Amino acid sequence: MEASAEDLISRFKTEKDCFKKARYLSDLHIEHELTLKEIASKIDYDQSYISHYLRILNLPDIVVDGYYAGQVSCAHLMILSRLKKREDIIDAYRQVLEKNLNTTQTEILIRGKKFNIETNDGRLDPDKIRQMKKKLLEIYPELKIEILQSRIKGKMSFELADDTKKTSKLLQQIFDRLISAEAIESGHESLIELD
């Protein structure tokens, strides 16, 4: 006999085993035809959290065995499940065991595999970013400036709400400054001219 949606929700809330919790969520989604949004609302979790749980059901047996042997936590499972390829998951799992990685270290490992990047946490200091923004605002006070940096990318944006004549002029000024600095630094003055 199929368990009711309310029964599955109740079991999910009291269950400690990650895979059983994931199966309850899967049953709610497949057998009871609830959307992830509906499930998230009923159990008072974010929809992304539901997705994390459902993904662990696709992990290779070796990783599942590691969870039941107490070698990795539920958080490790969710992080490992972000990888798509079975061989990548197994390789990452082995590295977690060999290096005794905590969840933060596992996040960095998976990010590196997923985005093919190396995280060395050499990010700019937040004070340095504030100083950069302040200096830019001294030069371009009419701009809205955002400078963001994560472990996998950096972003600098300039926004000017004005007519095209003023925005075109300002965009050209910013471009000229950036390209002339690059040209001088690299010795390629020809970069300054556009095709």
pLDDT in tens, 134-165: 998 898 888 899 988 876 778 888 888 889 99
Count of CB atoms situated within 10 Å of the CB of 9 = 19
Cα(146)–Cα(95) distance, integer angstroms: 37
Domains (ranges, CATH) in the chain? 5-115 (1.10.10.2830), 126-192 (no CATH)
The model's pLDDT over 74-128, given as tens digits with 9 standing for 90+, comes to: 999 999 999 999 999 999 999 999 999 999 899 989 988 888 766 556 778 778 8
Amino acid at 143: L
* Structure tokens belonging to residue 131: 């100083």
Residue 144: strand pairing partners = 159
Cβ(63)–Cβ(72) below 8 Å: yes
CB 27 within 8 A of CB 39: no
Cα 52–Cα 55–Cα 58 angle in degrees, nearest 5? 160
pLDDT tens, 158-186? 888 889 999 998 888 888 888 876 666 66
The torsion of the CA quartet 71, 87, 153, 192, rounded to 10 degrees, works out to 160
- For residues 29 and 32, give the distance between their C-alpha atoms in angstroms, rounded to a whole number: 6
What is the average pLDDT value for the chain, to the nearest integer? 87
Is 0.75 topped by the overall pTM? no
